[in-house]
Copies of this chain bind each other. A is one copy, B any other.
Amino acid sequence: MARRYDPDRRQRIIDAAIRVVGAKGIAGLSHRTVAAEADVPLGSTTYHFKTLDDLLVAALRQANEGFAKVIASRGGLEDPQTDLAAELAGWMGEWLAGDRTGVELEYELYLAALRRPALRPVADEWARDLAERLSRRTDAVTARALVAVMDGICLQVLLAGGTYDEAYVREVLARVIP
């Protein structure tokens, strides 16, 4: 048999899962689709991840870590000089510009978490982590509110299919910050 001993096999499957969910949504994820995308046999995906939920959790957690790195790399959140509302609005603009696969993936996670208890901790982690980052620049209540506002606005933009109005978002965020 060909291609034996592939030490990164597990990681490659996770990467493939992220691509599949990004392209076809969570509903399009199956052991078979991810096996095809990762170019591994079916049995390999079931070996590394007993259930689809296991695979989803691994994939979404990795996606979250990726986003966290992007946020951290901007760094503006640390500098108390910058205008927090403007900083966040700009960041959302970047996030929503161009390829929205990442954003869609994130909110699809939200959807799935509503019905799949296994995914809830992952979704909660993301919101909690973001709020925690914001807490360095404002109080906890405001941080939580900012996360809610940003979620709501992202959803509106995605669903209305419209364009992103950065000035509007900056204005709303500024109102929430006391």
Contacts and interface: CB of A to CB of B under 8 A. Distances in A.
A178 interface: yes
B159 A110 contact: yes
Contacts of A149: 145, 148-149, 152, 176
User: What is the count of identical protomers in the complex?
Assistant: 2
A15 interface: no
A159 B120 contact: yes
A147 B168 CA distance: 14
Interface stretch (A40-48, A54-62, A68-76, A111-119): A111-119
A175 interface: yes
A104 interface: yes
Contact of A152 (B27, B151, B159): B151
Contacts of A127: 156, 159-160
Nearest to A103: B114
Nearest to A150: B152
Nearest to A145: B172
A176 B176 CA distance: 6
10 contacts: A27-B27, A107-B111, A110-B111, A123-B159, A144-B168, A145-B168, A148-B172, A152-B153, A172-B176, A175-B178
Interface of A: 25, 27, 104, 107-108, 110-115, 120, 123-124, 127, 141, 144-145, 147-153, 155-156, 158-161, 168, 171-172, 175-176, 178
